[in-house]
Amino acid sequence: MKANVVFASTVAVWSYCAYPSLNSFHCSCAHRPMEGNLLKVASEQQSKLDLSLKMAFTKAPVTYGGPVLNEEFSILHGFGEVEGSRKLCPGVYVGGSEELMNEVRINRFKPENALFVKGHAAWVPGQLQREINKGVWYTASVSSDFILRYAGAPCTEEDNKGDLWSDILNCMGGDWAKIAEMHAGRGDMRMLP
């Protein structure tokens, strides 16, 4: 499995940002938006997030990323390459929260244009591919507008702002659109942790 593949799941809304480690395959997932902003989520739940980041990104949206390392947050953004960040795909970067915090302080970056992802998902070698083969996950190449939708990326009138999973499958067309239609109306809150 190569890095920077986007997955649309039959259970989760969507996920992105794959990176290999020694004994497993890790992925930050944005299954669904969490209720409240970063300050609320990071203050109410166990978190390793620094207070200065909480304060700078008070208004930043948060999505549920998975049950692994649930006290940790990743940051996704479209600001560009900054110190500590890594390009995932065109227009999407992960990391660089310290540098982005400085950009927020000098009004060059809006906190609500960052997407914090709480927790991660992980698979043992071969597990993710087996799950894809079983139809648990669907692979999809999507634009940065899909990946950063919860961080203020533009939506069109045809987009269903409350159902990203369905929008991705509809854009894929054919049988994928039929799957989206079968599960229509559930929205991004279809899967709660």
User: Which amino acid, one-letter code, is at 117?
Assistant: V
pLDDT of residue 140: 79
For the entire predicted model, the pTM comes to: 0.79
For Cα atoms 130, 134, 137, give the angle at the middle one, nearest 5 degrees: 85
pLDDT confidence band for 21 (50 / 70 / 90):
very low
Mean pLDDT (the chain, rounded):
77
Chain segment 137-168, per-residue pLDDT in tens = 777 778 888 888 888 888 888 887 777 888 88
Mean pLDDT to the nearest integer, 54-68? 87
Chain segment 64-88, per-residue pLDDT in tens = 887 888 888 888 999 988 999 988 8
Closest among 13, 57, 23, 42 to 152, alpha carbons compared = 57
> Any residues with CB less than 8 A from the CB of 154 and at least 6 apart, and which?
145
Q: Which residue has the higher pLDDT, 169 or 16?
A: 169
pLDDT of residue 17: 39
pLDDT confidence band for 106 (50 / 70 / 90):
very high
Mean pLDDT to the nearest integer, 34-48? 80
Cα distance between residue 2 and residue 89, in whole Å: 12
pLDDT confidence band for 19 (50 / 70 / 90):
very low
Q: Which residue has the higher pLDDT, 146 or 102?
A: 102
Q: Of 6-10, 45-49, 64-68, which range is least confident?
A: 6-10
* Polymer length in residues for the chain: 193
pLDDT of residue 81: 82
pLDDT of residue 77: 92
Cα distance between residue 123 and residue 131, in whole Å: 10
Count CB-CB contacts under 10 A for residue 71: 12
Q: Which DSSP string do the residues of the chain spell out, in sequence order?
A: --TT-EEEESSSS-EEEEEE-SSSEEEEE--EEEEEEHHHHHHHS-----HHHHHHTTT-EEEE--SEEEEEEEEEESS---TTEEEEETTEEEE-HHHHHHHHHTTSS-GGGEEEEEEEEEE-TTHHHHHHHHTSEEEE---HHHHTGGGT----TTS-TT-HHHHHHHHH-HHHHHHHHHTTT--GGG---
> Any residues with CB less than 8 A from the CB of 2 and at least 6 apart, and which?
18
